[in-house]
Amino acid sequence: MAVTFVEEVGRSSGKHPRGGRRLRARGRRRLSDAMFWLLAALLALPSVLPLLWLLSTAFKNYIETQVVPPVVVPFSLDLENFSSIFTPQIMGYFTNSVIVTACVLVLVLVLALPAAYGLARLNVRKAKDLQFWIISLRMLPPMAVVVPVYMMFSFIGLNGSLVSIICMSTMMNASFATWLFSTFFEQVPEETEEAAQLDGLGRFQTLVRISIPLARTGILTVMGFVFVFAWNELPFALVLSGQLTQTFTVFLSTFTSTNALINYGQMAAACVLYITPVIVVTALMQRQLAAGLSFGAVK
């Protein structure tokens, strides 16, 4: 049973048959359980060690970041790096990221939810081809897309505004979300919807009152991903942002090697600040993430 993205309605939940197996050879099983558990924990270690290094670097002064052997725990606990990030200007970049992400979340909901429902339920002609086209937009490399897009926004004079970044991020995420939303709506039992319609609800009300609440776990998980993707986006923002509309990822890109002096401590502090919301979202999505993401592709 993969993750349940849609609440069960009048179905038996298919739990794993447990119990019997457990009784046999319990001791041996326990030992091997412990070993595999340890192995799993070890496998997760490489994911988290570099992040701990990032955190430690955030508290180092410049010299501490540049010496060999490296300083592991910076006892000096230099907060200078963080205070140098909390300037109105750099917080302005942060605000831009917040605005872009919030707008993308709203737009994706407004555009993708009804469309996904329509594709799943409303006899749209060539629905399958449409779905393929929609998801294929998500497959395009952003840097190849942004060249044409730059030309277009430049023609209509929207370059350098947040609008252009929001539009592109919405396009990438709406295509991904529509595809997943429609797999969720397909799982909502049709009888439930038909019953609602017999009670006099229109299509739109059925969507809002029945289908969305039933698919809400799945929808929230996808929106969690949309948040992460929009928050992390760089290629569009790098090219399309203007002087006043830099997002935080563009600011992070200024710590590149063509910079004359990279203060790794400050860079790490900025990174730590910026990934904190992402880690919070990940923690909130833990149950869905840990249950495995099959994106509806499991039979």
Return the residues of window 162-221 that contact other proteins according to CB under 8 A. 167-168, 170-171, 174-175, 178, 182-183, 186-187, 190, 197, 202-203
Helix, strand or coil for residue 211?
Answer: helix
Smallest distance, other proteins to C-beta of residue 292, A: 3
Binding status of residue 8 toward other proteins by CB under 8 A: no
Name residues contacting other proteins, limited to 273-292 (CB under 8 A): 273-284, 286-287, 289-292
Task: Tell me the β-bridge partners of 106.
Answer: none
Q: How far is the CB of 162 from other proteins (least distance, A)?
A: 12
Contact between 52 and other proteins per CB under 8 A: no
Please give the structure tokens belonging to residue 132.
């393929």
C-alpha to C-alpha distance for 196 and 192, rounded to whole angstroms: 6
Minimum CB separation of residue 261 from other proteins in Å reads: 4
CA distance 169 to 57: 31
| Residue 76 main-chain phi, psi, to 5 deg | -70, -20
Q: Which of 74, 82, 98, 216 binds other proteins (CB under 8 A)?
A: 82
Cβ partners under 8 Å of residue 54, min gap 6: 268, 271, 272
Q: Does 115 bind other proteins (CB under 8 A)?
A: yes
Identified binder of other proteins from the candidate list 70, 106, 195, 209, rule CB under 8 A? 70
**At its nearest, how many Å lie between other proteins and the CB of residue 3?**
7
Closest CB to other proteins among residues 102, 152: 152
With 0-12 CB in 10 A as exposed, 13-18 as middle and 19+ as buried, what is 238?
middle
CB of 114 to other proteins, least distance (A): 4
